[in-house]
Amino acid sequence: MTRKLGSNWSRFAWAAVVLLCVVAAAAPALAGAGSFQLRTSEVSEVSGGWHVFCQLSLPKAPALAHTPMKFLFTKTVVYERALVDNSADPVVNRTPVVNQTPSVESLDVDFSDPTGKIFNRTRFDFSLTRTRGYESGEYKVQVRTTDGVDIGSPASLVLKGDNPVVDRRSITFNAKEKPIKKVDTGVDGGAKVAANGANDDSPAAATVSTDVVASGTAAPFIPPEAFQKTPEEEAKEHPKGCGCAIPGIDRTREAGLLAGLPVVLGLAAARRRRRARRASSPQ
């Protein structure tokens, strides 16, 4: 009997352990249980942004009045405005996208009222802007706590607006060319031959020349001014002569000085001879 009670007690202990493990594993899910709803699933763009209103509900009131949470926006469809052939205005194409990295917005959600009392549910609003990388299209929105627990189920959000235009028109190379205007003159600007109806074998056609004849006089290739000397070139040339000219004396005075030079030399020689005689004569 004792062995049977011990066996039942062992079974009861194992069942309690398993139950505790299940409760421990389900605790985060229960703590994260709640609901997340968007007050409207479509939001229009105003001044480059979208204002989103939502409602959050938790199983119990959080410990903090302002609880930090993460809002994840995963792009699913892009509204592309494109210029296409045979359409003057841009057309909107819904382009599905997959495997997109979600954009995360970390926000503090207020669960309290003006008196400071904390509740388990609240209404919250925030804004999304194009400067943050958002554009017109469809998104999947998921709210998550900072420890990774999802609040409620994902919701679908449509951001309405006009994205930048993309040119999708094809390039055509067979555009119609303008017709070439027929010129009623001969080759190289010459007069039309046989304009009076005569054929090429007529004497009138043979006497007409298509050569281009020059008329008038053209300016020379090198102008006459190129052969004239500049004042700088004339200053470099010196007058030819013996090189014995004295600056500041004109030609007439120079000739007079040259003519009286032998007389001066003779007088100087006579004076030297007289001095030599006086020096050699006895005193």
Domains of the chain: 30-167 (2.60.40.2550)
Q: What is the DSSP letter of 190?
A: P
Average confidence (pLDDT) over 57-84: 94
**pTM tops 0.75, yes or no:** no
Is 185 a residue whose pLDDT tops 60? no
Provide the strand spans (E) within 84-149. 91-96, 103-110, 121-129, 137-145
5 vs 18 pLDDT, higher one: 18
User: Among residues of the chain, what percentage have pLDDT more than 90?
Assistant: 41
**Range with top average pLDDT, 147-151, 192-196, 236-240:** 147-151
Mean pLDDT of the chain: 77
Rounded CA separation 193/184 (Å): 10
240 vs 161 pLDDT, higher one: 161
pLDDT at 104: 96
Rounded CA separation 235/90 (Å): 80
pLDDT at 87: 83
pLDDT category at 250 given cuts 50, 70, 90 is: low
Neighbours of 73 (CB within 10 A): 21
For 267-282, how does the pLDDT look when each residue is reduced to its tens digit (9 = 90+)? 888 888 888 777 776 6
Rounded CA separation 220/215 (Å): 15
